[in-house]
């Protein structure tokens, strides 16, 4: 029989002590209203001209039953990061994710700033191949790779 897991509920005051609500220095908040990313985020992006980077503050709503960040949230971050990585090397374009591979390395804590960055391995006319790493501080949480296809 499966065991039930009880998550600790925190007050808003406790959360404010855990999470800095303003963007880290050199990052800007971007919101696309009424999209999946608006519900999952907010997400923060490194300022233009800097290396790639997409991040978010992990909140209790991002937790799985084990009390750490749900793997789907980390994969959402990695997927968004693949676009940021490509767009910084080229220009922005309409694209879809064709493939995405991920290896979970360590549980991601609630109350941390979690970020993803990486590199373009190869960019062709219609397909771009990307790889990267999701971290909190210096701790690697997830490695990923994937392919984006232009649709414009």
User: Per-residue pLDDT tens for 97-133?
Assistant: 999 999 999 999 999 999 999 999 999 889 999 999 9
Distance CA 100, CA 131 (A): 9
Q: What's the fold here for domain 12-150?
A: Thiol Ester Dehydrase; Chain A (3.10.129)
What's the pTM value of the predicted model, to 2 decimals?
Answer: 0.82
Count of CB atoms situated within 10 Å of the CB of 149: 14
Distance CA 99, CA 84 (A): 16
Give the pLDDT confidence of 32-45 residue by residue, as tens digits: 777 777 777 888 98
Strand partners, 101: 145
The mean pLDDT of 123-152, rounded to a whole number, is: 95
Distance CA 113, CA 74 (A): 12
Strand partners, 55: 44, 115
Higher pLDDT, 75 or 88: 75
Any idea what DSSP says for residue 61? Answer: G
């Amino acid at each position: 029989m499966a065991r039930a897991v009880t998550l600790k509920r925190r007050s808003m005051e406790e959360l404010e002590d855990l999470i800095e609500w303003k963007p880290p220095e050199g990052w800007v908040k971007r919101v696309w209203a009424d999209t999946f990313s608006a519900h999952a985020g907010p997400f923060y992006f490194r300022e233009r001209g800097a290396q790639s980077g997409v991040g978010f503050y992990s909140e209790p709503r991002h937790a799985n039953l084990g009390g750490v960040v749900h793997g789907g949230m980390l994969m959402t971050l990695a997927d968004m990061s693949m676009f940021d990585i490509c767009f910084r090397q080229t220009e922005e374009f309409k694209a879809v994710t064709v493939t995405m591979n991920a290896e979970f390395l360590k549980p991601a804590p609630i109350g941390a700033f979690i970020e993803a960055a990486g590199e373009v391995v190869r960019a062709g006319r219609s397909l771009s191949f990307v790889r990267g790493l999701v971290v909190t501080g210096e701790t690697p949480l997830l490695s990923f790779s994937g392919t984006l296809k232009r649709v414009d």
